[in-house]
Amino acid sequence: MKQTPQSEPQTIVKPGYGLHHQALGPLETLAQSISTMGPTCSPAMTVPLVFATAGNGTWLAYLLAMGCTLLMALCVARFARESASPGSLYSYTMSSLPPMLGSVSAWALLLAYVATGASVTGGFIHYANVVLGEFFGFSVPAIPLAIFAVAVAIAVAYKDVKVSARLMVYIELASVAVIALVFVMVLWKHGLHIDPAQFALRGVHWSGVRLGVVLAMFSFVGFESATTLGEEAKRPLQTIPRAVIQSALLSGLFFIAASYTEVLGFPASAGTLDQSASPMSVLATAAGAPRLGPFIDIGAMISMFACTLACVTAAARVLLMMACNGLAHRSMSRTHDRNATPHIAVLVTGFATMLMPVGLSLLKINGETIYDWTGSLATYGFIVVYALVAVALPLHLKAEKKLTLPIIALATASVLAMVLVLEGTLYPVPAAPKNWLPYLFLAYLAAGILWHQWQSRGGGFQTEVTKAEPMVSAVETAKVE
C-alpha cells in the first residue's frame, strides 16, 4: 500500500523489556520529570539553603542554574528524539563512549537517583514532624517515618507505573498551586515594583552566588528522568524530549519566582530565611493568609513523598537496563507478569534509598541535614552523567553524519557548565562532613570501574558485559506502507 500524507507513524516494539508498553500520556510523562525535581521541595527547603550563601543574589543563582540546566536539557532532548529505552542517560552514553565510561555513567546515575530519594525522604521526615506538631502537638522518631515513606513509595512503584505517575502529577499540581497563590499574595502586598536590594545585589559576593548555583542545581536534577520511561510513554520520541525541556524551563521559572518572592517577603521578625523550620508557612502568615500555612506544609510533606516515589521509579528502570547489559544480576531485569513493572529492581533500589536516611537517623542527624548531605552527594552523580552525555552527543551525531556546528557549540557549553558547577562544589572547601563527599563519590565510582574490569575479564554475573547496541531503542517509528 502506498504511503499517503495522512498516514500516521506506527509504533513497533524492539526490543521489549517487559514493561507496560505505551501506558503513559504526555502529562504523565512530564510528571515523572517534574516529580523527581520536586518543585514544592525547593521553596520549602532548597531556596533557604541557597539564600544562606547567596543572600540577595538567590534569584541570580537560580537564573544561572536554569541556564546550565537548559543547556543539558537540549543535549538530552536531542538524544531522546532518536532513542527511547529504560536506560535513560546511561543508554545514551553507552551508544557512543567506551564501555568503561558507559559503566561509569550507569553507576553514577543509579547513585544520583537513590541519593535524591534519600534526600527527599529526609525532607519528608522534617515536614511530617512539622505537620504533626502543628495539628497534634507531638512528633514521631525519624526512623519510622523514613521506613514508612519509602515503603509506601516501593508499594506504589511495584504495583503500577500509571497509578504512580498520576499520583505524582496530582500531588505536585495541588502543592504548586497553593504555593503560587501565596507568592501572588506576597507580591500584591508589597506592590508591583522590583526589590532594589535584590536587583542591585546588595551585600552579595560572587563566591556566595557561585556556591548558591551549586546548591540551586539540586532543585533541577532529575529533569531528565522522563527518559527512563522510554518503553512506557506514548509516542516517546516526541513526548519525552518535550517533557525534558518543559520540565527544565517551567520549573526554572517557578524557582526564580520563588527565590525572589521568598527573599522579598520573608519578615525580619521571623529571623532569617535559612533558619526557619517552615519558611512557606511563615510567608503565608506574612501575606495575610495564615490558614494556608499548614496546608502548604502538608503539601511539602506529600511532595517529598512524591519525589521519593519518582526517584525509586527512575532508579529501578536504570537498574533494569544495567542488568540487561550485565552490570547487575540478571534477576534485576525481570518484570512482574501482571503489573509489568521491574519489581525486583524496585525492591532493591527502594531498600537502598531507605538505607541512607535510616542510617543517618541512627546517628541522630535531623531531616534537614539528611536532605542537605545526601542531596549534595546526588548532585555529584548527576553532574558526571550530564557531562558524559554532552560529550557523547557530538560523537553519536558524527557517526550518524548529522553533526553540525551548533551541536558542537551546545555540547562544549554544556560540558563547561558542568565543570564550573563541579568546581564550585570543591572550592571553597565546604565544612565537614560535606568536604568528604567528593572522596566518597570517587571511591564509589572506583568500585564501579573495578567491577567493570573484573566483569570484562569473565567475572561477575555474565562472562562478558553485553555491549548495548548503538542507540538501542525500545520503540522505533515506521511508516505505514
Length of the chain: 481
Residue 370, all three cell numbers: 539528611
Residue with cell 533557604: 48
Is the C-alpha dihedral spanning 164, 168, 171, 177 positive or negative? negative
Cα distances (angstroms) measured from residue 97 to each of 249, 291, 394, 408, 437: 28, 54, 11, 16, 26
Cα distances (angstroms) measured from residue 265 to each of 139, 270, 308: 29, 11, 30
Task: Answer whether 91's CB lies under 8 Å from 472's CB.
Answer: yes
Torsions phi, psi for 340 (to 5 deg): 55, 45
CB atoms within 10 A of CB 19: 22
Predicted pLDDT of residue 164: 62
Helix (H) / strand (E) element for 236: namely helix 236-265
Q: How far apart are CA 418 and CA 430, in angstroms?
A: 18
Q: How far apart are CA 32 and CA 280, in angstroms?
A: 24
475-478 and 10-13 as β-strands: parallel, antiparallel, unpaired?
A: antiparallel
Q: How far apart are CA 416 and CA 206, in angstroms?
A: 18
Q: How far apart are CA 160 and CA 176, in angstroms?
A: 25
Return all residues near 273 (Cβ < 8 A) that are at least 6 apart. Answer: 47, 48, 51, 262, 263, 266, 279
Predicted pLDDT of residue 125: 97
Task: Answer whether 101's CB lies under 8 Å from 255's CB.
Answer: no
Predicted pLDDT of residue 202: 94
Task: Answer whether 425's CB lies under 8 Å from 138's CB.
Answer: no
Cα distances (angstroms) measured from residue 198 to each of 51, 195, 201: 11, 6, 5
Q: Which of 59, 9, 448 is nearest to 254 (CA)?
A: 59
SS3 content of the chain, % helix, strand, coil (to 5): 70, 0, 25
- 279 preceded by a cis bond (ω within 30 of 0): no
Q: Which of 85, 338, 438, 384 is nearest to 227 (CA)?
A: 85
Q: Which of 14, 9, 27, 4 is nearest to 250 (CA)?
A: 27
Q: How far apart are CA 105 and CA 297, in angstroms?
A: 36
Return all residues near 319 (Cβ < 8 A) that are at least 6 apart. Answer: 110, 328, 332, 342, 345, 348, 349
Task: Answer whether 87's CB lies under 8 Å from 321's CB.
Answer: yes
Residue 91, all three cell numbers: 543508554
Q: Which of 216, 128, 171, 149 is nearest to 357 (CA)?
A: 149
- Give the DSSP letter string of 180-192: HHHHHHHHHHH-S
Task: Answer whether 121's CB lies under 8 Å from 371's CB.
Answer: no
Q: Which of 322, 346, 379, 315 is nearest to 103 (CA)?
A: 322
pLDDT 10s per residue in the chain (481 long)? 434 444 333 333 334 677 777 777 888 888 888 888 988 899 999 999 999 999 999 999 999 999 999 999 999 999 998 877 766 788 889 888 999 999 999 999 999 999 999 999 999 999 999 999 999 999 999 999 999 999 999 998 898 766 666 666 777 788 889 999 999 999 998 887 889 999 999 999 988 899 899 899 999 999 999 998 887 888 888 999 999 999 999 999 999 999 999 999 999 878 889 999 899 999 999 999 998 999 899 989 988 998 998 899 999 999 999 998 888 988 998 998 888 889 999 999 999 999 999 999 999 999 999 999 999 999 999 999 999 999 999 999 999 999 999 999 999 999 999 999 998 888 878 888 889 999 999 999 999 999 888 887 776 665 334 434 444 444 443 333 3
Q: Which of 243, 227, 237, 246 is nearest to 109 (CA)?
A: 227
CB atoms within 10 A of CB 262: 26
Helical residues (DSSP H) of 269-366, grouped into ranges:
279-286, 292-324, 343-362
